[in-house]
Copies of this chain bind each other. A is one copy, B any other.
């Protein structure tokens, strides 16, 4: 999230193929390391992004034509960085708006779309947003994040009610001072957990029985 927009970190290729086009950060898997270790290594060395709050595998691409004159497999990962993190990035890299992406190299446009879709879906039934939000935030700020990621407006009332009921959000007790134009100060919230949790309530055709356990 940058400037209330969902953005990707990409770098502009200097060499052929696809010189001048934008490419996702990445690199070769070294022996002997895990894919995830490799990703973290690439990010740390090439673009200095250590604040990755969430990392998950998207898909392994194997189309023989995805790289010209070469047969190259790639495993794409989705990595999320909080809004308040502002990593130093090399000169040839930049944050680009996901919804107005300049021409991308290889199949990276499709990967980015897949990542965006995965994020959108998971915003509905998980607490992934913890990986985009800062430690504390008001509902309005969180609303901006959801709006940018989902691509449409979101009701603040609803957002708060849903996330609090699901126990993914909790109030910190603090309040944020209002802006220059005044207004009631917003209550601060935080994510109860800062790792992926799934809300299982979406399972349909549930097991029978007199309702699920409820704390007294």
Contact = CB atoms under 8 A, between A and B. Distances in A.
Given A153-B208, A208-B153, A64 B33 contact: yes
Interface residues of A, number: 35
A44 interface: no
A142 to B, nearest CB: 11
A194 to B, nearest CB: 20
15 contacts: A32-B71, A34-B62, A34-B64, A35-B60, A35-B73, A60-B60, A124-B202, A124-B203, A124-B205, A150-B207, A152-B207, A153-B207, A153-B208, A162-B204, A202-B202
Given A31-B71, A34-B62, A125 B57 contact: no
Nearest to A206: B152
Given A125-B204, A153-B208, A59 B57 contact: yes
Interface string A120-132: 0101110000000
A63 interface: yes
The copy count of this chain in the complex is 2
A159 interface: yes
A59 B150 CA distance: 25
A138 interface: no
